[in-house]
Structure 1
Amino acid sequence: MKKQRYILLFIFGILLFPQANYAQVDFNKKPDDDLGDNEDAYQEFFFEALKQKGIENYDRAIEALLKCEKIDNSDPALFFELGKNYSQLKNFGAAEDALQKAIKKQPDNEWYLDELYGVYAKQNDLENAIKTVKKLVKYHPDYKEDLATLYVKTKKYDDALKVLDEMDAELGVSTTRDRVRNMIYSATGNKKDQIENLEERVEDNPEEEKNYLSLIFRYSENNEKEKAFETAIKLLKSHPNSEMVHLALYKFYLDDNEAEKAVVSMQIVLKSSQIKPEAKMMVLSDFVKFVAIHPEYESQLVEITSNITEDEKGKSNIEVAQYFLAKGDKVKAVAYYEKALEKEPDNFGVLRNVLLLYIDVENYSKAVEKSDEALDKFPSQPIFYLVNGVAKNKLNQPEKAIRVLETGLDYVIDDHKMEGDFYKQISISHTQLNNTNKAKTFSDKAKQLESTN
């Protein structure tokens, strides 16, 4: 639906229709008999209808318009207003009848046709909507896009593609129309036509980078790797400064074990200001996996991570931290998790990982400090109480450890392993305090839970 037209109609309708459509009724004419009274009454009822519609009293608006009809049924604007009010009340049958009368009296009025189109659209009457939009196309080419969409909804895919081709020829390609095209190709499974269309675009407009990229994607999707690679190389030759092409090239280079070229392409992508952060993170993830197999490129990974923009550093540091964690270098993993926390201080997963790593690398003071901060943000997460308790036991602070561990136990729900870990730590605390009996009690509870797992 063309909302802007409705807005214009709303603003100017009162001014336009009395001038344009009531030409047959001269409200200033002196009455010969009772004609003047009828004209006055018509005008009074019509404007009463407009007023009632304006305050959403559609029933009363219709009553006033029906009184107009009894006085003079020759005015198409009368039936147009009736149709709009019936439509507001969802009385679509009456709305259609009224609008058809208006169109019959004035067949070339775009507003009447557009309102009728709206009535059909509200009822999902696609066939009648198509017939109406075909008439509207001659007023505004924009309606062709509506027509293509309606053809798709009615599975008339060839008709839809014909309309899209006409619009592309007249106006050039557009993202919106391409989405409709892709819906059609997806519904029909006709990848051959889709690729041919993109090939023609590249041929007809070799300066347009987007056409190459779309073709590369479709070739890849269709498992035509060689053609995709050839197209990427062709794009690189015609656009040597293209950064987007490296989103495709690095994958090809990785598959062909051309490590140096792959690294260069990944670096270009990760430094690019044109490429979206989500795409960069996918590339960085691939870079991390690549370095896990080829550790000789670790320095490039670290370098590129340091050069990533501030907005992207949180996620990039997490990727690198996970790489070092998988490699077993927990110290470096902690360092990158800490950098990630600077950007995403409330990231629960990162907080949990870094706190557990503090225990692993025996940085107990830091574990206490950061778990205290974590408990301020996440007071119902038992893992942070457990880490805090473990660290305090390691620092020979058993009384403090017992207090925090007993509090944390209240938040453990249906997790026997974690519950057992709490009992073990409480047992350790009591052992440090020489409370042998209590230490054994909690140790036995932990063992009992282990046996049930």
Structure 2
Amino acid sequence: MKWVRLIKYFVFLCLWLPLPGIAQEEESAEIFLEDYTDEFQEYFFEALKQKGIENYDKAINALLKCKEMDPESPVVDHELAKMYQLNNQMGIAQEFALEALRKQPANLWYLNTYVSMIYYRSLDLDAMKRQLPYEHTELRENLARILVDKGEYDLANSLLKDLQKNELTRGLQARIADSLAMKDNNLDTESVDGEKAKDNPYLELVGELQGLLDKGQYSQLEIRSTEVLEAYPLQPFFYFTKGVALNGLGQFRSAEEYLLMGLDFLTNDEDLKNKFYKELVLAYQGLGDTDKANMYLSKLKNGS
């Protein structure tokens, strides 16, 4: 059934294990569904449907029904957090984001949602330490990862000093050093051309994937996008290239999943957002879902 497929997709997003473990995610989603009644699943699907048409009040009401049936589900808490955020109710959104994190501190997806809520107001590391279940090492590592991806190098360095050195923390420190060296040399970090990109690993990867995309080398683009997402799981451009590659290979359902994930990470980049919309139109046309294709085509035309 369509609603079962959509709930499986949502759980895939929320559980957020490493990207190569997609088969494991499908199994986890099946286990999740088996634990709930048809009534719960129907309310959950209704929430996703209402979210898709931007009717957030109705989506919230449906999710609150799910919350009544399972007060301890971090999946429901996380989706409520995102829904309240979309409805511009930031105080309640933050409460649900923190509730999801307290139940599942190691979840990178949940933590990224929380940070996105406070990012444009204030990133106070001391305040985050008080609010978050900060005693969990994996949460602190994930927070450092998010801060580096957002270019908050001073905060990330402060956090990394208190973490045990391992492959992840050393890699993050190297990325910070590379980015600060570029800044010191007055290089344009927006450029992905010529010698400038070669001095920055992230920009070099962007240039490489853009080259594969321009040439229509979809098989190689799909492989490299998957590899790059392991190192940069919060960068929407790499979800975009993965989605383009999957569309090009005729794998429209997988393209839909990666494109929707990438949109969740996207902020303040209208050009890239429109590129996502174009690819979603192609994915839904390939799936024969005319309603969804037209919805994203309308978003593209309206610039919303």
The TM-score, its normalising length taken from structure 2, stands at 0.41
Q: Highest relative contact order (Cα 8 Å, sep 6+), 1 or 2?
A: 2
